[in-house]
Amino acid sequence: MFLFTHFFSKPQSVHLTITSSNGFHLRPVAQFVSMSKSFPCKTTVTFQNKTVDAKSINTLLSLSLEKEDTFRLQTQGKRAEEAIQSLKTLFETLMQTDTQIKKIVKTVSNYQGNLIEGDIICEGIAIAPAYAYLRQEVQHETNVNFKEALHCATDELEALYLLHKKEDNAGIYLAQKELLASLGERSKTLSQLEQSIAEEIDTLLGSKMQSKSVDYHDILQRVKKHLGWETKVTFPNTPFILIADDLLPSEIDALLETQVRGVILQETSIYSHTAILLRAAGITSLIAQTENLSGKEPLILDAHAAVLVYTPSATDLEKAKQDEEQDKIQKAQSSSKRFETALTMQGKKIKVLANVADLNSAKEAKDEGAEGIGLLRSEFLFKATKPSLETQQKAYKEIFSLFDDITVRTLDVGGDKALPYIQIPTENNPFLGIRGVRLFKTHPELLEEQMYAIFLAAKEKALKIMFPMVSTVEEFTQTKAFAQNVAKKYQIDISNIDFGIMIEVPSVLFLLEQFNEVVDFYSIGTNDLAQYLFAIERTHPTLKVDALSPVLFSAIENILQKATKPVSICGELAANKNAIEKLLHLGLETLSISPKSIAKTKELIRHV
C-alpha cells in the first residue's frame, strides 16, 4: 500500500497566471515542455475548458496564453508532487526573466510627402528604393531521406544555438529545436510534417501568438533544404529597402550579406523571432501595411517616427539624409569612445559600471567599456540544481579576473524568484516574505557555502559584497558577522573585502545615520525600492509604477544627502535617458547599468 501511494499519489494541481507582457510564447514554452518531459507523470494544462498535454510544445502553444491569462497545471502519477513544484518554480522564473519587449516611443515627423504609419521594430533612418521580396523554390536530386533530413536540421539548430550562445537571442534556436523534435515525433514523411505544421499554424490564427507561425515555416524550410529544396532569392546589388509579408528567422543572416538599408514587414509583430533578430542585427525596420511600392525612386523609412514616406519631396530627402548622417555619427561616437571616461560638461567624472548575470555578460561588459561590475547577480549559478563549491569558486574567479572594481550581491531568491531545492513555505505575499538577506537565517548552509566560494575566489583581490533586501541595522550587522565567522572557520583573511547593502526597503531611508556607522557602501536598487514605495508588485500584470516619479527622485535625494559612505545606483533608472541628467544633478557619481547601455549612457553623460 505504501509503495502504491508513493508511486501513484493523488493528482496535484495549481493555478498559474501569465505575468509577462510577451505572453507564454515559444521560448519559455519550450523550456517548460522540456522539464515536463523529464518527469514520468501525466502533465496537463487546462485553459478555458480546453485541456492539453504539457509535454507537447505544439498543443501548449495552441492555447495562445497571453498576459493575465490563468491556467490550471495538473500532474498525476509517479513523482507528481515533485513535478508540479518544479514546474511551478520554473514557470515563475520564466515569467520573471522574460524580457519585456516594449513599443518604442515614436518621434514627431514633419514630412511633406505621403506617408504610411507603422510600429517600430528597430530604430534608424533608411533612404533607398523599395524592393519586393519574392521566394522561388527549386528542387534538386538528393539521396537524403526524411529521417536523415530531420536529424540534420536538428543538428543545425543546435549548432546555431552554440554559435549565438552569448547573445540574448540564442534561445530562439533551442526553442525551434524543441518544436522540430515535437513535430518530428509524429511525422514519418515530408508531407506529414507539412500537414502537421499547417494544422499548428491554424491554431495560432487570430491570437497574439500568430507571429510565431514563422518559426514553423522556418523549421520546415530547414528540413526541406536537406531534402534538396533550395529557396532562391535575388537581391539588388545597390542599396534597397526590403518589403515583405514576413521573413523567416533563418533569412536574416543572408540579408546581412546584401546592401539592405531597411526592412518593412506586413505580417509580423514586435514580439516575433524575426523582429528580435532584426533588432539584434541593427537593421532599421518597421511593421506597416504598404501598398504596391516599387521602382527606382527612393523612399524614406524613418523608424524613429515610425513612418514610411513613399512620395518624399526634395526637402524631405534632404532632411532624412541629415538625420541619417547624424544617427551614424552618434553611433560611431558612442562606440569609439566607450572605453573613455565619462566626464560631464563641467569635467566631473562619472563612473559607469555594469550589471552582469554570468561570465558571458561580464565579458560583454568588458567589451562595451564598463569600468567594473556594480552588480554581479550571483543567482546565475543557482538554477535547476544546486552548484557545488568548486563550481561557484571557478565561476567567481573567472569573472573577478576581468575587472578590478567588482561588487557581488549575495544570493537573492524568494518573492518572484524561486529555486526547486530551496524549500520556502507558501506565502500569501512572497515579496514581503523570505527573500534576499533573510535567507541567511532560513538557509544558512547554502549561504555559508556561497560566502566560502566568494572568499576563495577573491583571495587578496579587493572586493565588495552587498546584501539584498536589508531592512534594519541589526539585520546587516548580524549578516556581516555571519560572513566574518565563515572566514574565521576556514581561516581566510577578508580584510580586502568591504560589506554594504542594497537600498531597496523604505525603512532604510529612516535609518541612514545608523547605517553610516556600520556599512562600507550603498547601492540603490530602484526597481524594488519603487515597488515598496508605491506598494505595487513589479511583476503585476496591470498596475505600474511611474519610473520617473518625483517620489522616487525625492527618495534618492534623501539618500545622497544623508549617506556618508559611497552611493551607487544599479536599478533600471540608471540607464533611463530621461533620468540621467537629474540623477547626476542630485549628486550620483556611479551608475551601474546593462552592458548594452554603457556606450550610449557615457555619451549622454558627456552632454550633461
Q: Place 410 in a pLDDT band, splitting at 50, 70 and 90.
A: very high
Q: What is the pLDDT of residue 544?
A: 72
CA distances from 558 to 49, 449, 517, 586 (A): 52, 36, 17, 10
pLDDT given for residue 600 in this prediction: 85
Q: In the predicted model, what is the mean pLDDT of the chain?
A: 86
Cβ atoms within 10 Å of 341's Cβ, excluding its own: 14
Tell me the CATH architecture of domain 2-97.
2-Layer Sandwich (3.30)
Residue by residue, DSSP assigns 307-363 as EEESS--HHHHHHHHHHHHHHHHHHHHHHHTTTS-EE-TT--EEEEEEEESSHHHHH
In this prediction, residue 545 carries a pLDDT of 76
Between the alpha carbon of residue 199 and those of residues 172, 229, 268, 272, 329, the distances in Å are 21, 22, 19, 19, 48
CA 431 vs CA 421, 535, 547, 568: distances in Å: 19, 10, 19, 24
- The yes-or-no verdict on residue 94 having pLDDT over 90 is no
Q: Where are the domains of the chain?
A: 2-97, 115-134+234-335, 136-232, 353-543
88-106 average pLDDT score:
75
Torsion sign (Cα): 87, 62, 30, 144: positive
- 445, pLDDT greater than 50: yes
Bridge partner residues of 241 (DSSP)? 130, 262
* Residue 47 reports pLDDT greater than 80: yes
Q: What is the 3-state secondary structure (H, E, C) of 368-409?
A: HCCCCEEEEEHHHHCCCCCCCHHHHHHHHHHHHCCCCCEEEE
Locus of grid cell 581561516: 491
- Alpha carbon of residue 207 to chain centroid: 23
State yes or no: pLDDT of 124 exceeds 70.
Answer: yes
* 206 Cβ contact list (under 8 Å, min separation 6): none
- Pairing assessment for the beta strands 42-47 and 70-76 based on DSSP bridges: antiparallel
Q: Which of 42-46, 244-248, 488-492, 599-603 has the lowest mean pLDDT?
A: 244-248
Which residues, in sequence order, are CB contacts of 517 under 8 Å at separation 6+?
Answer: none
> Which class would CATH give 353-543?
alpha beta
User: For 48-62, 347-361, 362-376, which range has the lowest pLDDT when averaged over its residues?
Assistant: 48-62
Q: What angle do CA 33, 37, 43 make, to 5 degrees?
A: 80
- Residue 131: left if φ>0, alpha if ψ -120 to 50, beta else—which one? beta
**Would you state the pLDDT for residue 184?**
86
Residue 539, pLDDT > 70, answer: no
Average pLDDT over residues 222-232: 84
CA distance 540 to 335: 36
User: Residue 462 has what pLDDT?
Assistant: 94
Instruction: Indicate whether 541 pLDDT > 60.
Output: no
pLDDT over 90 (residue 26): no
Query: pLDDT tens digits for 267-278?
Result: 887 777 788 788
Nearest residue to 64 (alpha-carbon basis) of 212, 174, 246, 183: 212
Sign of the CA dihedral running 356, 357, 362, 368? negative
Minimal CA–CA distance to 200: which of 104, 311, 63, 27?
Answer: 63
* Cα distance between residue 526 and residue 579, in whole Å: 12
Query: For residue 554, what is its C-alpha cell?
Result: 525625492
Whole-number Å distance between alpha carbons of 246 and 249: 10
Instruction: Answer yes or no: is pLDDT of 299 > 90.
Output: yes
Q: How far apart are CA 165 and CA 62, in angstroms?
A: 28
Q: 125 and 308 in contact (C-beta within 8 Å)?
A: no
Which range is least confidently modeled, 287-296, 465-474, 568-577? 287-296
Q: What is the pLDDT of residues 157-192, one digit of tens each?
A: 888 777 666 565 677 787 888 888 888 888 899 999
What per-residue confidence (pLDDT) applies to 64? 81
| Four-way CATH pick for 115-134+234-335: 1.10.8.60, 3.40.640.10, 3.40.50.10790, 3.50.30.10 | 3.50.30.10
Q: Provide the grid cell at 154.
A: 536538428
Give per-residue pLDDT as tens, 463-506.
Answer: 999 999 999 999 999 999 999 999 999 999 999 999 999 999 99
pLDDT at 7 over 80: no
- Tell me the average pLDDT across 17-34: 85
Taking the complete model, does pTM exceed 0.85, yes or no?
Answer: no
